[in-house]
Amino acid sequence: MIVHTPAIVLKTIPYGDTSMISRCFTLEKGKIGLIIKGARSKKSPKSAHFQHLSYIEIIYYDKPNRDLQVLSKVNFKESWPHIQNSLKAVTLALAILEMTDRTLEIDDPHFGLFNILVDILRGFNDRKADPNMLFWFYECALLSHLGFRPDLDCRDMPGITFPDPYEGEHSGQILLQLLDGKIDRLPLNHVSQKDSRVISNYLQTQLFYHFDNLTRLRSLDVARQILTD
């Protein structure tokens, strides 16, 4: 089956002398693995398409029992050059990509989550929203879309008691707004350092509880330091 879909590049590594392997989050198929033959040869422009944070349109022939699909065509769909100009934005955006890569299964579409990720990366690029809010919003969306929407009033789960989400003056209210799932209604009020610590700690504990492989993610540790500074 020929698949034509928008995609966001999550991770790319060299393969052989001239090729690349890329993991992408696609609208139509969820997370997939792609092999891009000849992408690293001097005559090929394809390597530029498969950098982190690239938003592209791809065409490939899908073989269900194959680990890596073979790319046929690729074009840029949209560019977000301003993300790279902010250390905070690029750090948080790359952490989001790694979280997405670690939590999604191959060939498991999440249409709503894909569209949210596009909106979040646009938000980092346009700088019209607080980067902290964008990051927390995506963490809430990731938990919700994968079946683990937090209940702020239920702190006890098997083997764990979650931190108190209401410990900060406004932390509970902000978390409820983030969990509402409306990116055009992100909280606009100033977030105190204590509220930031409470929100970051609560969401990180939720993510680590439900996804074991996130606990060793270095980019999340760096993101936490930025969020609470």
**What domains are defined for the chain?**
2-78 (2.40.50.140), 81-228 (1.20.1440.120)
**Which stretches of 146-190 are DSSP H helices?**
171-179
Q: What is the pTM of this model?
A: 0.93
Residues 111-124: tens digit of each pLDDT: 999 999 999 999 99
Residue keyed to tokens 């989050």: 25
Beta-sheet strands, E only, within 29-109: 30-36, 55-61, 69-78
Residues 42-82: tens digit of each pLDDT: 777 788 889 989 999 999 999 988 889 999 999 999 999 99
Residues 136-167: tens digit of each pLDDT: 999 999 999 999 999 999 999 999 999 999 99
Residue 135: pLDDT over 80: yes
Q: What is the mean pLDDT of residues 4-26?
A: 93
Summary mean pLDDT of the chain: 91
3-state secondary structure (DSSP) of residue 6 = strand
Hey, which residues does 57 pair with through a beta bridge?
A: 6, 75
Question: Which one of 2-16, 30-44, 185-199 scores highest in mean pLDDT?
Answer: 2-16
Distance CA 65, CA 44 (A): 28
Residue 229: pLDDT over 70: no
Angle between helices 111-126 and 87-103 (to 10 degrees): 170
Cβ neighbors of 152 (< 8 A, separation 6 or more) are 165, 166, 172, 175, 176, 179
Residue 189: pLDDT over 90: no
CA distances from 27 to 14, 110, 162 (A): 24, 7, 33
